[in-house]
Amino acid sequence: ATRRYVSYTNLPGGDYVFRVRACNSDGVWNEVGTAIHIKVIPPWWKTNIFYSLCVLLSISSVFGFIRYRTATVEKEKKILEQKVAERTAELAQKNNDITSSIQYAKRIQQAILPTQEQIQKHFPDSFVLYKPKDIVSGDFYWFGEKNGRRIAACVDCTGHGVPGAFMSMIGTSLLNQIILEDGVTEPAAILSALNQGVRAALKQGVQTDAAAEGAGKYRDETRDGMDIALCSIDPVAREVQFSSALRHLIVISDNKFEKIDGDKRPIGGIQIDSADVFTNHIKFLKKGDMLYMFSDGYADQFGGEKGKKLMVKRLHELLIEVNRMPLTEQRAHLE
């Protein structure tokens, strides 16, 4: 063309060479031509330095954010650790207070239990194996003498620990009242009175106000109650009367095993029928006969090579195995 200029737009920054050839009016071309070296300087935001700074800034931002988050997490962790330490100290103090209180309750519970000396005064050949699962126990034993009869009971209350211990206090108090104060010595009659006393103490079977108006509704009954095995022994006649709620008595005579089952109903708790009658079993003993009463605690223990439960059958076999040993050895062997 005849133009003496040319325009290039939007060239990116960099080094360029502009080459040109021309011809005259006769069409003769300049074969060599000429060239111009041009350097286009890009805007600062398109330079490699800017790109490098952006990369560095991005890396620094990420690193700085990570450091910030790490510092924040560490700070929150320290605050949390401090709070945990404070709560732990509070819980430790509360646990110590509660444990001290329960330890004191243990002393009270042990104080109301018959002493081994008191029992052995009447039965020199006897032993008690009493090992609470918790500090205080829902199982307890009772012993007393009234009208020439010696009465012993093994009681298993619902619940463990403090709830069971409350039930044991109720049971001990009622047995003291029924036997020592009221003079009842027949086991079946004792259990009937005990059942009434427990249900009255826990307000079981008590009608609500609506029931009094004819609605027939009862207060929500608790399942709290107890299982008990109770013997009343005449040492002169060698007669033992036995009655039980969901427990049994083991008699071993001349190495012969006998199991006397009790009634299949608890003391207190939810009861299907309103009958308040327990069976009274009578048996005459001879010298050397062994009587065993126990709660379900021993038979429920896990152990052995396979970590299985002992079960009642194996406990019975164990009693047959040890019944001819001296009583101190029996206790040590069972323990």
In tens, the pLDDT along 278-308 reads 999 999 999 999 999 999 999 999 988 889 9
Query: How many CB atoms sit inside 10 A of residue 153's CB?
Result: 27
Q: What is the mean pLDDT of residues 208-215?
A: 52
Is residue 172 a contact partner of residue 112, using CB atoms and an 8 Å limit? yes
Is residue 283 a contact partner of residue 260, using CB atoms and an 8 Å limit? yes
Query: How many CB atoms sit inside 10 A of residue 25's CB?
Result: 5
**Residue 226 to residue 268: CA distance in whole angstroms:** 7
**Residue 68 to residue 230: CA distance in whole angstroms:** 73
Is residue 222 pLDDT above 80, yes or no? no
Q: How would you classify residue 243: left for phi > 0, otherwise alpha for psi between -120 and 50, otherwise beta? A: beta
With tokens 């320290």, the residue in question is: 78
Residue 217: which pLDDT band, with cuts at 50, 70 and 90?
Answer: low
With tokens 């207060």, the residue in question is: 219
Q: Where are the alpha helices (DSSP H) in the chain?
A: 48-112, 116-122, 161-175, 187-201, 209-212, 312-322, 327-334
Mean pLDDT for the chain? 90
Q: What is the mean pLDDT of residues 141-155?
A: 96
Residue 236: which pLDDT band, with cuts at 50, 70 and 90?
Answer: very high
Residue 180: which pLDDT band, with cuts at 50, 70 and 90?
Answer: very high
Give me the pLDDT at residue 219, please.
54
Is residue 120 pLDDT above 80, yes or no? yes
**Residue 242 to residue 189: CA distance in whole angstroms:** 11
Q: What is the mean pLDDT of residues 188-195?
A: 96
Residue 207: which pLDDT band, with cuts at 50, 70 and 90?
Answer: low
Full-model pTM: 0.74
Is residue 218 pLDDT above 60, yes or no? no
Is residue 191 a contact partner of residue 243, using CB atoms and an 8 Å limit? yes
In tens, the pLDDT along 251-267 reads 999 999 999 999 999 99
Q: What is the mean pLDDT of residues 150-164?
A: 91
Give me the pLDDT at residue 181, please.
96
Is residue 9 pLDDT above 90, yes or no? no
Is residue 157 a contact partner of residue 139, using CB atoms and an 8 Å limit? yes
Residue 273: which pLDDT band, with cuts at 50, 70 and 90?
Answer: low
Give me the pLDDT at residue 229, please.
97
Residues in Cβ contact with 232 at an 8 Å cutoff, skipping those fewer than 6 apart: 149, 150, 151, 185, 186, 187, 190, 240, 241, 242
What are 164's two structure tokens? Answer: 């069971």
Give me the pLDDT at residue 113, please.
94
In tens, the pLDDT along 39-57 reads 988 888 888 889 999 999 9
